[in-house]
Amino acid sequence: MFTGIITDVGAVRAIRKAGDTRFEIATAYDLSTVDIGASIACNGCCLTVVEKGGDWFAIEASAETLSKTTLEDWKDGTRINLERALKIGDELGGHIVSGHVDGVGEIVSITPEGDSKRFRIRVPAGLARYIAPKGSVAVDGTSLTVNEVEGEVFGVNIIPHTQAVTTWGAMREGQRVNIEIDMLARYVARLTENKPT
């Protein structure tokens, strides 16, 4: 489990395609405190550490993961939002995030709004019903509050701090992003669709 509060921005340093695709990711984390088998959210995808060095760790992604996320877009040098798994007693500053990406969205516009930027993001039709104004959503692993929803497009404001400490400062229109809907919204929708009439 994660909170959607990004704690490092890593970068892809090597990619090897075999049966699965192996990514090596450079990080500022103290890797002496990261075990092999630990989970790290990489742009919102919960992935398992399979090897590590002094300033990097490796993960492997299956064809299924590549097909359902933006990992297939990664290249050498791609910057990635990172978050280590939540420990009991940690501050829950964002919202409960599982690291299971529900789909891929697209940034359709970026507009300055005061010191912040307003991002409008289009999601697949099947996910739009789970996104509500003032609700939570994780985009590329970042816990965000939804401002408005218009059909399959929702808006979020990204403050200067978030732009500076995550990949949001370099995002562009047309970029694909990983979307994880709020876990509570998923279960409420499931309960209401199975409600007896």
Position 86 scores a pLDDT of 86
What does the pLDDT read at residue 107?
98
Domain count for the chain, please give it: 2
Is residue 80 domain-shared with residue 114, that is, in the same domain? Answer: no
The pLDDT of residue 194: 64
- What is the pLDDT averaged over residues 131-154? 96
Does residue 149 carry a pLDDT above 90?
A: yes
pLDDT at 197: 56
- H-assigned helices in the chain: 63-68, 125-128, 160-165, 183-193
pLDDT above 90 for 182: no
Question: In the listed set 29, 57, 84, which residue is the last one of a domain according to the structure?
Answer: 84
Shared domain for 58 and 128, answered yes or no, is no
| Overall average pLDDT of the 142-156 stretch | 97
- Whether residue 92 lies inside any domain: the answer is no
Question: Residue 18 is part of a domain; what is its CATH number?
Answer: 2.40.30.20
Q: Classify residue 155: in a domain, yes or no.
A: yes
Residue 193 pLDDT level (bands cut at 50, 70, 90) = confident
Amino acid at position 146, single letter: V
Whether residue 42 is contained in a domain is answered as yes
Please report the pLDDT score of residue 155 as a whole number: 98
**Per-residue pLDDT tens over the stretch 48-107:** 999 999 999 999 999 999 999 999 999 999 999 999 998 877 777 778 899 999 999 999
The sign of the CA dihedral 92, 112, 130, 125 is negative
> Containing H/E element for 46?
strand 45-52
pLDDT tens digit sequence for 25-53 = 999 999 999 999 999 999 999 999 999 99
Q: Is the pLDDT of residue 21 over 90?
A: yes
Query: The domain containing residue 30 runs over which residues?
Result: 8-84
Buried b (16+ CB within 10 A) or exposed e, 89-119: eeeeebbbbebebbbbbbbeebeeeeebbbb
- 71 & 142 share domain: no
121 confidence band (pLDDT: 50, 70, 90): very high
Output the pLDDT for position 95.
84
Mean pLDDT of the chain: 93
Q: What's residue 2's pLDDT?
A: 93
